[in-house]
Structure 1
Amino acid sequence: MNKYRNYIIGNISTTRKKYQKFLENELKEHNIDNIVPSHGSILSVLYKNNGRLTMKEIASLIRRDKSTVTSLCNKLVSFGYIKKEKCEQDRRVTYITLTQKGIDIKPEFEEISKKLIDTAYKGFTQEEEETFIYLLNKISKNFDIE
C-alpha cells in the first residue's frame, strides 16, 4: 500500500486553503472589494454566458445546490455586482444578470483566473494536467451520493 494513500483528502483540503488565500490576495491586490473565492464560479459562468442565467442554470453549471447559489448571489447583489430579475412569463424563474459593476471587473477577474490556473499547473506537462484532472474527477465521483 502507498504510504501517502491516507493523506489524499488532507492534501486536497490543504490545497484548497492555499488557493483560496492566493485568490484573496489577488482580489485585494486588484482592489476588488467584497468578493471572496466562492463568488468566482458564479461570475465566471455569467461571463461565459452573456451575463444572464437562471438561478437553476447557475447551480447546475457550478455544481452547487440551489440554496448555496441563492446565498452567494444575494451577497453579490448586495455588493452591486449582479441583480435579480423575475421572468415575466414564469414568475417562479429568477434570472441573475451582471450589473455594470460586475461587467467592469471582468478584465481583472480573467487576469486573476489565468494567474490561478498558471500557478496551479506550473511545472506540469500537458499529459500530467490531463491525468491529474482525470484522477481528481474520479475521486470526486467516488463521493457522489446516488
Structure 2
Amino acid sequence: MNDKYIIYFISRTKANMIKFIENRLKENKLDDLIPTHGNILTALYESDKKLTMKEIATKIGKDKSTVTSLVNKLIDLGYVEKEKCTKDKRVTYIGLTQKAHDIEDRFNYISSQVKQTAYKNFTEEEKAEFLRLLKKLSSNFKNAK
C-alpha cells in the first residue's frame, strides 16, 4: 500500500470541509461566523444551559485559551454572553443570546448538510470503522513524544 499520501488527504479533506462550511454559512446569511465557532455553538445548543469556559473546552477538545478567543469573538458578534457566577466570582458562565437561538434552525440545517456530505455512500459499518481509525490516528499523535 502506498501510504505516503495519507496526511496529504487528511489535510485536503479538512480544507475542503472548511470551504464547504464557509459556503453554507454564506448561503444561509451567517457569514459573520467561521467554522470553528460551530463547535462552541453546538456545545451550548446541546447542553441547553450555560457552561464555563473549561466545560466548553473539554466538550470540544480545545485548550482554554483558544476557546476564550473564540468565545470573545462570539460575544462581539452578539451570539453569546458572559455571566459571573453569583456564588464564586472566579467562575464565568457562557450562555446563548436570543440572536443565537434565532439562528439555531439554520445552524442545525448546515450541520446536517455537513454530515450528509461527509458520509454520503458510507455504510453504517464503514462510518463506525472510519471513526475508529480516526480516533486511533489521533491518539497516535497525541501520545507521541
Q: Same fold (TM over 0.5)?
A: yes
- For 1:103 and 1:123, how far apart are their aligned partners in 2? 32
- CA shift digits 1:57-104 (9 cap, x unpaired): 000000000000000000000000000111111111110000000111
| 1:86 alignment counterpart | 84
Distance apart, 1:33 and its partner CA: 3.4
1:102 to 100, 111, 131: 100
Given the two structures, how large is their TM-score scaled by the length of structure 1? 0.96
1:26 corresponds to 2:39: no
| 1:135 alignment counterpart | 133
- For 1:15 and 1:85, how far apart are their aligned partners in 2? 37
Letter in 1 for 2:33: I
1:77 to 75, 78, 86: 75
Distance apart, 1:9 and its partner CA: 1.4
SS of equivalent to 1:140 = helix
Letter in 2 for 1:137: K
| 1:14 alignment counterpart | 12
Distance apart, 1:110 and its partner CA: 0.5
Where does structure 2 lack aligned partners over 5 or more consecutive residues? none
Letter in 2 for 1:64: K
- For 1:52 and 1:6, how far apart are their aligned partners in 2? 44
Cα RMSD (Å): 1.0
Counting matched residue pairs gives: 144
SS of equivalent to 1:95 = strand
| 2:119 alignment counterpart | 121
SS of equivalent to 2:20 = helix
Given the two structures, how large is their TM-score scaled by the length of structure 2? 0.96
SS of equivalent to 2:86 = coil
Q: After alignment, is 58-67 or 30-39 more displaced?
A: 30-39
Q: After alignment, is 64-73 or 91-100 more displaced?
A: 91-100
**Contact 2:22/2:31 (8 A) holds in 1:** no
Distance apart, 1:32 and its partner CA: 1.0
